[in-house]
Structure 1
Amino acid sequence: MRRHLMLVSAPALVIALSMTTAACSSGSDEPAAEAVAKTNEGAYRAAIADIARTDAERTSDATRKPVELLAFAEVMRGEKVGDYIMGGGYVTKLLAATVGAEGRVYAFQPDEFIAYRSEYATEQDAAVEPFRNVTALRGPIGAPPFPEPLDTIITVMNFHDLYLKPMSADTGSKASAALFAALKPGGTLVVVDHAAASGSGTSAADTLHRIDKQAVIDALTAAGFTLEQDSTMYARSDDPHTANVFDSAIRGKTDQFSLRFRKPG
């Protein structure tokens, strides 16, 4: 079973992660050993400094908080991890540098996305090309073909896509079950997404590209996951939850929730 790690608490990360730690609900994780914390600190800093990252990705770090995300996801060197719906590869690159040569990253791009916009395939190829420890995967959005049990899966700003109108009505439940099956017992799933109005369920997925946090919790707990931590590291109280996330007035400034689930075992 995977060792449970809460948030890295090495001295150089205390300031960066203090707000995240304070915002997380209390969980049952065991305190991380000092040696593990120091090891992960170096891996996270190396991931941010990796030369394969673009200037645009570095610029977005201020709002995307890569150190905090990696710590919240408990990613460690040598692990097998998945980036579910990888987009342009921002998270894929961070994971690749963090898990190192002894680890493996599976970067998944859905067939449905590539059919809608062919550039998703070429962007996937370009993002994974510099890394020997990254495998590009393609397949149905509800059935990602991860080839081995994973320690961690991260999906950022894409869970709502399971509920877009072009998707079949059971895509959300199928994908949730597939993510559960893809993880090792004790493995973690981290979901970050744009917050919709409380009580709105999945109704804003297609119109605003948002989803109610409770709808995500309900879908994943129904699949067998246990919600372990709920972080407000990406919270924005000035977001009214009524604008499309691609609206220029709100883009890059949306209120987002961050949830960490664990597969029992």
Structure 2
Amino acid sequence: MPRFHASLLASGLVVAFAACASTTATPADTATATTQADAALDAAIAHPARDPKNVARDVHRHPRETLGFFQVKPDATIIEISPSGGWYSEILAPYLRDAGRYVAATASAPADSGGGKRNAALQAKFAAAPARYDRVQWLEYDGKAPMLGAPGSADVVLTFRNVHNWVAAGTTDAYFQAFFAALKPGGVLGVVDHRARPGTGLEAMKTSGYLTEALVIDHATRAGFVLEARSEVNANPKDTADHPNGVWTLPPTHRHEPGDAAKYAAIGESDRMTLRFRKPAR
């Protein structure tokens, strides 16, 4: 090889190596990014624009620990399934606004139905506070055959206290298959739901709103997910899961006799499973 060409090649390799080295994240860089992401999440949770009624439930829903367990990052694309009144939207939408993407995915419903009214109320909530919600993406899907946008487009799919509704409706497998399709390889599915005692029968689960972890894990693994971890962050050992009106006996629904208010308030919200599933990378 001519000396001139060899010199150019050598200098090019040095420049290329230096460029690669300069863009490689160091442990310190990673730690800094994590600290900044944690601080941003804390700020979203502590923001004064959150509804005080929602803030009062932080003690039961543990948003900081739950979202941390689900490995939520500010630059992620996150689909939340059936956000209802927007409890988690108040946290996730501002947290993801600058670098990520928050998708509020809800089943379409007639305007005069309960579901339709909830959807309209949530959209009105978003429209009323553009500084927080102007970049929310709204996705409506068929509740019997859900599709959640382009395949492989999401980093994380989150569902909070929804699976028991799908079990009652017989649509659970369709939902978990939709989650699997929507997630990128290696993506996370985070599930929180009311927890039944092991061995509880299917009919009892349908009427009580409490599900066994085994049932949820079975539906998820059938769809292709791998159970990666469980957390007890949303556990409540005071909850016996055997109330006269199922989980709706407890706060926040309070479906009980007026004289039992103190009894159920002392129990608090339901005992809940918190499960992290992973879509295999290959």
- Relative to the length of structure 2, the TM-score reads 0.75
Aligned counterparts of 1:230 and 1:201: Cα–Cα separation in 2: 22
Q: Which runs of 5+ in 2 are unaligned?
A: 1-28, 255-263
- Work out the number of aligned pairs and report it: 230
Using the TM superposition, give the Cα deviation of residue 233 of structure 1 relative to its aligned residue in structure 2, in angstroms: 0.6
Q: Match of 1:254, as an amino acid?
A: S
Instruction: Give the RMSD, CA atoms, in angstroms.
Output: 2.1
Flag as ranges the 4+ runs of structure 1 deviating above 6 A.
Answer: none
State the 1:54 CA deviation. 0.7
Instruction: State yes or no: 1:163 paired with 2:172.
Output: no
> Where do residues 212-231 of structure 1 align in structure 2 (5 Å cutoff)?
212-231=212-231
Residue 51 of structure 1, CA deviation:
4.2
What is the letter of the counterpart of residue 124 of structure 2? A
User: Displacement, 1:52?
Assistant: 3.7
Structure 1 residues 181 and 117: alpha-carbon distance in aligned structure 2, compared to 1, 3 A threshold: closer
46-55 vs 208-217, which moves further: 46-55
Compute the displacement of 1:39 (Å): 1.7
- Structure 1 alignment gaps of length 5 or more: 1-31
Paired AA for residue 181 in structure 1:
A
C-alpha contact 1:188 1:263 (8 A) present in aligned 2: yes
Identity among equivalent positions (%) equals 31
The one of 133, 139, 154 equivalent to 1:137 is 139
Show the counterpart of 1:11: none
Measured against aligned partners, the alpha-carbon deviations of 1:119-169 in whole angstroms (never above 9, x if no partner) come to 2122221343331221122222244443241001111111111012xx2x3
Q: Is the 8 A contact 1:237 1:255 kept in 2?
A: yes
Q: CA 1:261 to 1:47, structure 2 compared with 1: closer, same or farther past 3 Å?
A: same
The TM-score normalised by the length of structure 1 is 0.80
> For the Cα contact (< 8 Å) 1:43–1:97, is it kept in 2?
no
Displacement of 1:198 in angstroms is 1.0
Q: Which position in structure 1 is the counterpart of 2:280?
A: 264
Compared with structure 1, are the counterparts of its residues 225 and 142 closer, same or farther at alpha carbon in structure 2 (3 Å cutoff)?
Answer: farther
Matched residues in 2 for 1:204 and 1:93: separation? 33
3-state secondary structure, aligned to 1:207: helix
Aligned to 2:79: 82
Where is the helix percentage greater, Structure 1 or Structure 2? 2
Q: Indicate if the aligned counterparts of 2:148 and 2:178 stay in contact, CA closer than 8 A.
A: no
Which amino acid letter does the alignment assign opposite residue 85 of structure 1?
S
Q: Which residue of 1 aligns with 2:118?
A: 120
Cα deviation for residue 111 of structure 1 reads 2.6
- Matching residue's letter, 2:91: L
Structure 1 residue aligned with 2:66:
69
Tell me the residue number matched to 1:57.
Answer: 54
Partner of 1:238: 238
How far apart are residue 85 of structure 1 and its match? 1.3
